Amino acid sequence: MPDVNRRGLMLVLSSPSGAGKTTISRRLLKNDDNLDMSVSVTTRPMRPGEIDGRDYHFIDQARFDAMVAASALLEHATVFGNSYGTPRGPVEDALSASHDILFDVDWQGAQQLRAAMDRDLVSVFILPTSAEELHSRLVNRASDSEEVVRHRMAKASGEMEHWDAYDYVLINQDIDASVAGVRSILHGERLRRERQVGMASFVNTIRRELDEG
């Protein structure tokens, strides 16, 4: 077999709440053994049912601050008094091992990831078909109060403002088609020339063999 290995990639999915990003992510992870969800560190308390290392790495603020100071986080933010961030080491290890990592982050997180590891990043923004459809999805989830739904709808416009900062944009009209679309993006990005480690040597070897007859 050719001595060509693929460098892994970072797949970022962003969308306003209710546009289908979580469903698409779950389907991708379920059917792709070479794709794992990024596990963030957080200072917030563990909730019932959560498992340290699976849902989050739960750490204290002092350790979080030390990771920020040491540039050990690819991106980080503080939300409602709790800090969240993406550890650099596990991501770099995965990419070196030809493994891909999925990120569920907002525009600011995506920008930080791009600034840290631009050549490894592939970003996709998921859009709803309409404001009415977005509201319907949020209501039909039946997991949020009416006040929370109004808050999410109010945030949606600001979140969609940055759609043009992403590599790909997908309108989630049909969930099966949307999953297939993201899979196609992932497949194509895995074949990009710059991710094929050792390809230049492989091509040169074949050319040399051809020239030598």
What are the structure tokens assigned to 24, written together? Answer: 């698409």
pLDDT at 163: 95
pLDDT at 160: 92
Residue 178: Cβ within 10 Å count: 21
Q: Indicate the burial class of 185 (C-beta count within 10 angstroms; 0-12, 13-18, 19 or more).
A: middle
pLDDT at 151: 83
pLDDT at 1: 60
Which residues in the chain show pLDDT less than 50?
A: none
CATH number of 5-38+100-212: 3.40.50.300
Average pLDDT of the chain? 93
What are the structure tokens assigned to 177, written together? Answer: 């088609």
Q: How far apart are CA 22 and CA 3, in angstroms?
A: 36
pLDDT at 136: 85
pLDDT at 139: 82
Among 4, 15, 181, CA closest to 110:
15
Residues in contact with 8: Cβ distance below 8 Å, sequence separation at least 6, in sequence order: 94, 95, 96, 97, 98, 99, 100, 101, 120
Would you say the C-alpha torsion 33, 35, 41, 46 has a positive or negative sign? negative
Domain ranges of the chain: 5-38+100-212
pLDDT at 64: 98
pLDDT at 149: 81
What are the structure tokens assigned to 120, written together? Answer: 């490894």
pLDDT at 8: 98
